[in-house]
Amino acid sequence: MNAILNVLWLVLSGLWLAIGYVVAGIICCVLIVTIPFGLASFRIANYALWPFGRTLVDRPDAGAPSVIGNVIWIVVAGLWLAIGHVVTGIALCVTIIGIPLGIANFKMVPVSLLPLGREIVPVPR
């Protein structure tokens, strides 16, 4: 079932989300100082391509730099990305077929809001 949902997600919205996050990651990596944000954008792009069957967990080795980076991220981009995912999720939940895709968008809110100090892992079966 995850494979079907992932293909549907990829075709309808995942590819465009991933492209957006990759472009943001490239821009951040070009601006040397923001490389950690660029790497986080690449991780989010990977998650945006194939979200079903994976989840977000906190990294135990993340410390104060992750917290400081997340605060900067929220101010610069995180809040707007999270609002975008919530609005898109609500719009997708209007149709019965779009409900799983809306839920996937809601699942992306935490990683788009606070990407540093987190890891995307497969869901245990």
Q: pLDDT by residue (tens digit) across 32-90?
A: 888 989 999 999 999 989 888 888 888 888 888 888 999 998 988 889 989 989 998 99
**Alpha-carbon distances of 122 from 45, 60, 76, rounded to whole Å:** 16, 17, 29
**DSSP letter string, 85-122:** HHHHHHHHTTSTTTHHHHHHHHHTHHHHHS-TTEEEEE
Name 92's Cβ contacts closer than 8 Å, sequence gap at least 6. 13, 98, 99, 101, 102, 105
CA 64 to chain centroid, in Å, comes to 22
Tally of domains within the chain: 1
Q: pLDDT by residue (tens digit) across 2-24?
A: 888 888 888 888 888 889 889 98
Q: Is the pLDDT of residue 125 over 80?
A: no
Phi-psi region of 118 (alpha: psi -120 to 50; beta: other; left: phi over 0): beta
Supply the range of the domain harboring residue 35.
2-122
